């Protein structure tokens, strides 16, 4: 199966070319997918209302990357900004399961911690230091840290872009992949809503979108964004069910609605529903 899936992937050589010809940081398929999404979906437009207008100096822009380790989305965003948005002052914050927290399941974490170790001040592991965004207190801590960063960067309205690349190992029950990952994806959406500036953009990785939690998440995004796309990058393996849900032009969310959504976050929120 792996050989057949590789043969069916026209972008299989992209990773090698990124490393040999362009020498990009963390030149992986994840890097290629993020860079392609940034470009094709115009995730960081220069004329976005989420980018502060300044008469002097460079505008400050922030992106937040959820479930990010080992960091390919950050590296791709860095490459894009340094290449195409040189008039910005850009900073970022990332969230992932803390590889140095003994309370975490070691099999659920990414082994490659090189970027985390080199950029530790940019990482937020939440109120309990686990980095698990399925916990309400951790989402609140992420919001607080994001607001501090945006204030420091001169964009108090919020962040321009949020990415979420979370997944759960479903190899023991692959037929239930969508439902097993549903709680994580819902929490990613809620976390993003509390971070984005009006006009900002959000992308999260999903899989099949047939079950009711996925449909509800799409409906929620349809209510809060000007445009919602379901997008599969050309560099995403065609033999898997992976897709990316893109929300363009965040409209804002009332505080009482956001608090209601936050109250429903948890590790297994759809069981029995």
Q: How confident is the model at residue 10 (pLDDT cuts 50, 70, 90)?
A: confident
The whole-number average pLDDT for the span 214-235 is 97
Q: Give the contacts of 110 (CB within 8 A, at least 6 positions apart).
A: 69, 70, 96, 97, 99
pLDDT in tens, 12-63: 788 788 888 888 888 899 999 999 999 999 999 999 999 998 878 899 999 9
pLDDT in tens, 87-142: 999 999 999 999 998 888 887 878 789 999 999 999 999 999 999 999 999 999 99
Owner of token pair 């992976």: 242
- The pLDDT value recorded for residue 270 is 85
- The pLDDT value recorded for residue 272 is 64
Task: List residues with catalytic annotation.
Answer: 33, 165, 205
Q: How confident is the model at residue 266 (pLDDT cuts 50, 70, 90)?
A: very high
Peptide bond into 25 cis (omega under 30): no
pLDDT of 5 > 80? The answer is no
60 and 53 Cβ atoms separated by less than 8 Å? no
- Phi/psi for 160 (5° steps) reads -80, -40
The whole-number average pLDDT for the span 76-82 is 97
Q: What's the mean pLDDT when you consider all of the chain?
A: 93
pLDDT of 180 > 90? The answer is yes
Percent of the chain with pLDDT over 90: 77
154 and 127 Cβ atoms separated by less than 8 Å? no
Q: Which long-range contacts (CB under 8 A, 24 or more apart) does 212-219 make?
A: 212/270, 212/273, 213/178, 213/179, 213/182, 213/183, 213/185, 213/186, 213/270, 214/178, 214/182, 214/185, 217/185, 217/186, 217/189, 217/245, 218/245
Residues 2-263, CATH architecture: 3-Layer(aba) Sandwich (3.40)
The whole-number average pLDDT for the span 219-225 is 98
Domain boundaries, the chain: 2-263
Chain center to CA of 33: 12
- Higher-scoring residue by pLDDT: 32, 4: 32
- The pLDDT value recorded for residue 273 is 62
């Amino acid at each position: 199966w792996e050989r057949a899936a590789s043969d069916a992937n026209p972008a299989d050589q992209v990773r090698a070319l990124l490393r040999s010809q362009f020498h990009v940081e963390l030149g992986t398929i994840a890097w290629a997918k993020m860079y392609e999404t940034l470009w094709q979906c115009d995730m960081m437009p220069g004329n976005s209302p989420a980018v502060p207008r300044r008469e002097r100096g460079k505008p400050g822009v922030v992106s937040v990357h959820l479930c990010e380790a080992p960091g390919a989305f950050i590296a791709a965003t860095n490459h894009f900004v340094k290449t195409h948005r040189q008039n910005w002052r850009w900073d970022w914050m990332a969230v992932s399961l803390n590889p140095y927290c003994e309370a975490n399941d070691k099999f659920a974490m990414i082994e490659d911690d090189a970027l985390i170790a080199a950029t530790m001040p940019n990482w937020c592991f939440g109120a309990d230091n686990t980095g698990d965004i399925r916990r309400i207190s951790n989402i609140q801590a992420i919001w607080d840290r994001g607001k501090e960063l945006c204030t420091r960067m001169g964009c108090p309205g919020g962040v321009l872009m949020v990415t979420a690349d979370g997944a759960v190992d479903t190899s023991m029950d692959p037929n239930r992949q969508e439902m097993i990952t549903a709680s994580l994806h819902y929490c990613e959406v809620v976390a993003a809503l509390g971070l984005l500036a009006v006009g900002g953009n959000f992308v999260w990785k999903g899989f099949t979108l047939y079950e009711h939690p996925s449909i509800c998440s799409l409906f929620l995004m349809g209510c809060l964004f000007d445009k919602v796309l379901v997008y599969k990058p050309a560099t995403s393996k065609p033999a898997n069910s992976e897709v990316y849900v893109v929300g363009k032009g965040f409209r804002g969310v009332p505080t009482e609605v956001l608090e209601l959504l936050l109250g429903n976050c948890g590790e297994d929120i759809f069981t029995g529903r």
